[in-house]
Amino acid sequence: MIAKLKSTYNVPIIFTEIGSSPDQSTAAQQTYITKTIAELVAAKATCNVVGANWYELYDDPNDAFGAIA
Residues 6-26: tens digit of each pLDDT: 999 999 999 887 877 777 888
CA distance 49 to 11: 9
- 53 within domain boundaries: yes
Residue 1 is classified by DSSP as -
Q: Which amino acid is at 20?
A: S
In total, how many domains does the chain have? 1
pLDDT digits (tens, 9 = 90+) for 16-60: 878 777 778 889 888 988 998 899 999 998 999 999 887 766 555
Q: What is the dihedral of CA 8, 10, 16, 21, to 10 degrees?
A: 40
Angle between helices 26-47 and 2-9 (to 10 degrees): 30
- 3 within domain boundaries: no
- 1 within domain boundaries: no
- 55 within domain boundaries: yes
- 5 within domain boundaries: no
The three-state secondary structure class of 49 is strand
- 9 within domain boundaries: no
Residue 40 belongs to what domain range? 15-69
- 4 within domain boundaries: no
Identify the pLDDT of residue 69.
Answer: 46
